[in-house]
């Protein structure tokens, strides 16, 4: 028997096996995407991203607020009231009290409010960006808040140029004591990454 040798052109190979090659490449790419995709349980929903953005802006506003009109209310929002937690977890409250960014007692809070009122001090906080990261293994969402703060007083004792700030927050979810099924955000870690801070 004689074997007949056929000449095969590249065009014939593409017509015969082109679909198979495309299918193989498609399967490899889809397999790679399936293996490297993020865990859906650890992803933050669009609504939650919006809520965390608003929360980070509010917390930053409350931390930096030194206006005589709103200082006391802003500071009280950060601190726990009875069994209702504030916007900051107890370790963060202790950290900010040690750095003298929060008053140590209610009497200190009232005294600071009186001082701000006598100076007629106001502050303006501009938040330029809130960048969210992916949740870590403890389901804490890292947030980076940057912007500017300017302070002015009637007696010019603390007036100055606007100063930039950059805060790193890690936000978790805490149960509401009145309604345990309802979760709300709380800052569990705080870092001041502004220029000139330790």
Which residues, at least 6 apart from 164, have a Cβ–Cβ distance to it below 8 Å? 146, 147, 148, 194, 195
Q: Are strands 183-192 and 163-175 parallel, antiparallel or unpaired?
A: antiparallel
Evaluate if residue 116 carries a pLDDT over 70.
Answer: yes
Q: Looking at the domain assignment, is residue 197 inside a domain?
A: no
User: Which pLDDT score, from 0 to 100, does residue 136 have?
Assistant: 83
Distance from C-alpha of 79 to C-alpha of 14, rounded to nearest angstrom: 70
- 117: domain range? 46-192
For the four alpha carbons of 58, 63, 67 and 68, in that order, the dihedral sign comes to positive
User: Which pLDDT score, from 0 to 100, does residue 180 have?
Assistant: 73
Q: Looking at the domain assignment, is residue 16 inside a domain?
A: no
pLDDT digits (tens, 9 = 90+) for 173-195: 887 777 777 788 889 999 988 87
Quote the Cα angle for 140-90-45, to 5°.
25
Q: Looking at the domain assignment, is residue 129 inside a domain?
A: yes
Q: Looking at the domain assignment, is residue 7 inside a domain?
A: no
Q: Looking at the domain assignment, is residue 128 inside a domain?
A: yes
Token pair, residue 27, equals: 């399967």
Q: Looking at the domain assignment, is residue 33 inside a domain?
A: no
Structure-model confidence comparison of residues 101 and 196, the more confident one: 101
The number of beta carbons lying within 10 Å of the beta carbon of residue 86 is: 20
Residues forming beta bridges with residue 170, ordered by sequence position: 142, 189
Burial track 176-198 (b if 16+ CB lie within 10 A, e otherwise): eeeeeeeeebbbbebebeeeeee
Token pair, residue 38, equals: 């993020």
| Domains of the chain: total | 1
Evaluate if residue 2 carries a pLDDT over 80.
Answer: no
| CATH, residue 147 | 3.10.450.230
Distance from C-alpha of 130 to C-alpha of 112, rounded to nearest angstrom: 29
Q: Looking at the domain assignment, is residue 3 inside a domain?
A: no
Please state the pTM of the whole predicted model: 0.72
Band of pLDDT at residue 126, cut at 50, 70 and 90: very high
Q: Looking at the domain assignment, is residue 80 inside a domain?
A: yes
């Amino acid at each position: 028997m004689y074997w007949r040798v056929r000449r095969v052109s590249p065009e014939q190979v593409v017509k015969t096996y082109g679909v198979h090659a495309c299918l193989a490449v498609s399967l490899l790419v889809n397999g790679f995407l399936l293996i490297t995709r993020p865990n859906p349980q650890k992803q933050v929903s669009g609504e939650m991203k919006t809520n965390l953005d608003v929360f980070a802006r509010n917390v930053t506003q409350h931390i930096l607020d030194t206006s005589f009109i709103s200082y006391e209310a802003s500071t009280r929002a950060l601190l726990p009231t009875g069994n209702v937690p504030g916007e900051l977890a107890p370790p963060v409250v202790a950290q900010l009290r040690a750095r003298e960014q929060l008053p140590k007692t209610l009497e200190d809070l009232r005294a600071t409010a009186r001082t701000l009122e006598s100076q007629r001090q106001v502050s303006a906080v501009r938040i330029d960006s809130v960048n969210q990261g992916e949740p870590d293994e403890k389901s804490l969402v890292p947030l980076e808040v940057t912007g500017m703060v300017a302070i002015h007083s009637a007696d010019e004792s603390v007036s100055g140029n606007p100063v930039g700030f950059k805060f790193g927050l890690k936000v978790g979810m805490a149960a509401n004591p009145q309604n345990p099924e309802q979760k709300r955000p709380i800052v569990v870690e705080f870092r001041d990454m502004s220029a000139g801070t330790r």
